[in-house]
Amino acid sequence: MSVISVFTGERSDSKIAAIFADEASARAVALRSQQALALSPSQVLVLTPDDRHPGRKLEPEGRGIFRTLLIAHFRLGLLGLLAGAVVFALMYAAGVDLIRAEPVWAGVLITTFGGGAGLLAGGLVTLRPDHTPLLAKVNEALEQGHCAVVVHPFDAGQRDRAERFLSQLSSDTIRTL
């Protein structure tokens, strides 16, 4: 489990995609990937220009996006509150006059700002900006009539093995974090 998945709750928080000229090549590589990397069929998906909803294969945990939103905001919001409380405690212990003059208000304000920063970080994690380049590249390839094999690894070891394997079979690969 990666650091990101702690905040998203997703089983597969990274992806590797390889672009192929035709569907037959993509399907052959997908089958070889499953066998060589011991992946389940749900982890190795083929996208073709004929797919009506390619986004569902690119982001198969889409039904869990609301869950991701809740987990990311909850965990990072709490972490932000804790960080704000630590900052307040350090400033109070350091004897900052402004903090010592109104400790209750200063504590509430700094802790709240920490929580707000945590919630903003939760929003960033929910948006998953690391996925955008992969999604754009695969969609562009599909528009040009090419096909793609997308691997959804469950851990860093699977991700690294899949990336090495696909890069040997396609000169056009991309991965998320």
**Which residues neighbour 55 within 8 Å (Cβ) at sequence distance 6 or greater?**
62, 135
Higher pLDDT residue, 3 or 40?
A: 40
Question: 56 or 49: which carries more pLDDT confidence?
Answer: 49
Position 1 confidence tier, pLDDT thresholds 50, 70, 90: very low
Residue 159: is its pLDDT beyond 60?
Answer: yes
pLDDT at 86: 98
In the prediction, which pLDDT does 93 show? 97
Nearest-CA neighbor of 151 among 62, 47, 43?
43
Residue 167 has pLDDT above 60, yes or no: yes
Determine contact, residues 25/147, Cβ cutoff 8 Å. Answer: yes
CATH of domain 3-65+144-175: 3.30.70
Average pLDDT in the 81-88 region? 98
Give me the mean pLDDT over the 2-30 stretch: 79
Q: What is the pLDDT of residue 144?
A: 94
**Contact yes or no for 88/30 (Cβ under 8 A):** no
Q: How do the domains of the chain map onto residue ranges?
A: 3-65+144-175, 69-127
